[in-house]
Structure 1
Amino acid sequence: MAAVTVLAVAAGSAAAPPPGGEEPPGAAELREQLDDLVAEGAVGALVEVRDGRRVWRDTSGVAERDTQRAVPARGRFRVGSITKTFVATVVLQLAGEGRLRLDDPVEAWLPGAVPDGRRVTVRHLLGHTGGLYDYKRTLTVPPDPAFLDYRSRTWTPDELIGRAVAHPPTSAPPGTAYAYSNTGYLLLGRIIEEATGRPYAREIGRRIIRPLRLHATSLPGTYPRIRGPHMRGYVPVERAGGTPLVDFTEMNPSLFGASGEMISTAGDLDRFFAALLGGRLLPDHLLAEMRTPSFGGRTYGLGLAWKETACGVTVYGNDGDALTYQSWSFTTPDLRRHVTVALTPDHRAGLDDSVDALLDTAFCG
């Protein structure tokens, strides 16, 4: 399906689109790259580029297999690990309020939850240096058909954490290696609850979602559906005679919890990262902590990631993989340009390199 392009003006701007719908530099190449993503391994894809007050949106592919239904340019999607940046922001806000310290041991907040919890700190959890086994490695994964049993199952954070800590640490002592672990963010969700007396989702809502008016962003808990316009997501499942794609759009997101349950849109993610990097959510010293590599030369700090573009500009944000949805959202340091990409993979090929090329075009064009 041919790409569909929308040129708009961000809310609050009095300007009108130029006659003929003038496109930003690199728009033709972006459109071609988005179509290539679909040809390479996506059912549907969208991109949103914000440059100052101007917004350009493009879509390719279809919102649902075996239909001609267009991808909604402003549609919602599961953002996966971009959730972690929201969780990290709340943890850093609590540190700024003196309600916890980044060097607090996990044992002080969650006694007995983690072996050697006196040496694993909040900072380690934020930066993936705690050496905790990733609970996702204990789960059945596609194309095993048993994965479909997770569609309706409710998991508790403690259950998933328990599965992880039954395995030995990936490094010891804590702080001596980087190893991405979703388990750490389940623990951070629990620490937020202990520090505030409220669920982490409620704290994200009252501290970030409502103040920034992120009306299309939610933490659904156990609710399986995606409200509003959205692409449908799929997983490959082994069946007699092949491995077809099975619709897995509706699923119980407690499987991800604080490590990745959020649903959002490109516009809301752009607004969030602009507010975060613009200093509206954290004081300068804590934002600097977030932007400092958690280990060695890693491009990951305390819940925040960054990329070096082809034109030498470092962009900040995060990416997420919710299995049926993949997303990337990044912003230039001067907050002038924001780019978000989301797609529903068909699992034929990894698309990270192609998305990186698209981001280069969007930021450097």
Structure 2
Amino acid sequence: MGESPHITENTRAWMPRASRRMAVTALAATLLAGTATPAVATAGVAVPKAAAGQDRPELQEAIQEFVDAGYAGVQMRVNDQRGEWVGSAGVRKLGQSAKPPTNGHFRIGSTTKTFTATLVLQLVADGEIGLDAPVADYLPTFKLDRRITVRMLLQHTSGLFNFTGEYYDDGTIVPGIPWAGQEWVDKRFHTYQDEELVRLALSKPAKFAPGTNWSYANTNYVLAKLLIEKVTGHSYATEMKRRILGPLKMRRTVVPGTSPEMPRPHAHAYYRYEDAGQWKTIDVTRQNPSWISAAGEMISTTEDLQTFFSALQGGKLLPAPLLAEMRKPHPKSSGLFGGYGLGLYVQDLGPGCVGTVFNHNGSNNGYGALIYSTPDGKKTMAASITTGDAAIDPAQVFPKALDKLLKEVFCGGKAAG
């Protein structure tokens, strides 16, 4: 498949005309198909605090599988009882031999949603927001259905139209803003306003009555951002720095807003698309993420993601009752990454593994992010995958590579469930 949707996990989103002949799958929605030329794997890079944990060739082989499948590069960090392992495979930039930096920045896509949900829940803990209060009470200008609660935004049960487009069970496709193909390439530096994205969604019919079903929609998390800003009187970026990034000393994590820049060091990411019948590949390392806003804009590193997820699961960011609410999957949500709670996927890896893991993977055009943790936050895996110029079908290759990775990290080499 040439182009594929990447917008958000486990959602059927509008596909560009060139791709409508292909079925939408959970995998295709996860990572882009415009991928990279295979490259030689590089050895795991030793880190001072856990040098003994470096002798783990099975982890190197697991990330190499992504590169062998056609992705440009991978960087990964694993923290567990054996210490910390850090490694990379593939290339930092097409046409060059240097490997991806193991401390490199990357766009984390929908992993941003876990940060956003945590911020909202912190405000719930402070008594500033009611988890089951109508969103309309806080954001009256949008005239939202009063049945839509704050919980429904975080859980994707609001029924609101996804501003990046909807794909319905009967085959109906209703497009939203351009996020793929030539249209996105032409507008990749365009600035969108949050209110513009929300009003586009509200101009379309709701997918279902609030609270009656589950459907992943980026609209929910743009509203969550506006909610944070309205209640605190500060910008989303300011609150993120004050409440999460600052206290956890996550100095390499960025809330870019409208800035297209990527901090150094970083691996380059590429996008393959069809233009007038010809396939083209361009470097999309620089792009304006305002089109996805608090649903997927953030930039981070594997070290910072590990710090955040470990702190979250270890109970350092939320009181126990709210962390428990975050971890309750909605009964109608299920897919490749498990069931969906409040900004968090809950996945059972099956017999022989560690049991339940929490995750929220994500992608933006060119970049993919993986983050997994055990309930106590003591075993974590964080990774970035970059795409290049090889044509692959992620629905065919990604599940196999992900399963190998999960079984090596969390199942002692046994098949993941």
- TM-score, structure 1 length as denominator? 0.92
**Distance (whole Å) between structure 1 residues aligned to residue 103 and residue 344 of structure 2:** 24
The verdict on how the C-alpha distance between 1:129 and 1:295 changes in structure 2, with shifts beyond 3 A counting, is farther
1:142 aligns with 180
Q: Which amino acid aligns with 1:333?
A: P
Q: Does 1:216 align with 2:255?
A: no
Q: Does 1:177 align with 2:224?
A: no
Equivalent in 17, 29, 33 of residue 51 of structure 2: 17
Of 344-353 and 320-329, the range deviating more from structure 2: 344-353
CA RMSD of aligned residues (A): 1.8
Q: Any stretches of 5+ residues in structure 2 without a counterpart?
A: 1-39, 166-175, 413-417
Displacement of 1:54 = 2.0
Q: 1:291–1:302: 8 Å Cα contact kept in structure 2?
A: yes
Displacement of 1:41 = 3.0
The number of residues matched between the two structures is 352
1:13 aligns with none
Q: Does 1:90 align with 2:119?
A: yes
Deviations 1:37-73 (A, max 9, x none): 1121311111111124721112111111121121101
**Distance (whole Å) between structure 2 residues aligned to residue 194 and residue 297 of structure 1:** 29
Of 127-136 and 63-72, the range deviating more from structure 2: 63-72
1:349 aligns with 393
Q: 2:103–2:302: 8 Å Cα contact kept in structure 1?
A: yes
Deviations 1:148-172 (A, max 9, x none): 2222211110001111111111112
The verdict on how the C-alpha distance between 1:250 and 1:53 changes in structure 2, with shifts beyond 3 A counting, is same
Deviations 1:162-218 (A, max 9, x none): 11111111112x111110000000000000011100111111110000000001101
The verdict on how the C-alpha distance between 1:314 and 1:219 changes in structure 2, with shifts beyond 3 A counting, is same
Displacement of 1:297 = 6.0
SS at match of 1:42: coil
1:3 aligns with 42
Of 46-55 and 61-70, the range deviating more from structure 2: 46-55
The verdict on how the C-alpha distance between 1:9 and 1:305 changes in structure 2, with shifts beyond 3 A counting, is farther
- TM-score, structure 2 length as denominator? 0.81
Equivalent in 140, 164, 168 of residue 201 of structure 2: 164
The verdict on how the C-alpha distance between 1:297 and 1:278 changes in structure 2, with shifts beyond 3 A counting, is same
1:302 aligns with 342
**Distance (whole Å) between structure 2 residues aligned to residue 185 and residue 237 of structure 1:** 28
Q: Any stretches of 5+ residues in structure 1 without a counterpart?
A: 11-15
Alignment of 1:204-243 (within 5 A): 204-240=240-276, 242-243=278-279
The verdict on how the C-alpha distance between 1:80 and 1:89 changes in structure 2, with shifts beyond 3 A counting, is same
Q: Does 1:126 align with 2:163?
A: no
2:222 aligns with 186
Q: Does 1:51 align with 2:80?
A: yes
**Distance (whole Å) between structure 2 residues aligned to residue 42 and residue 126 of structure 1:** 31
Q: Does 1:77 align with 2:113?
A: no
Deviations 1:247-294 (A, max 9, x none): 111011111111111000011011101111111111000100100113
**Distance (whole Å) between structure 2 residues aligned to residue 80 and residue 142 of structure 1:** 14
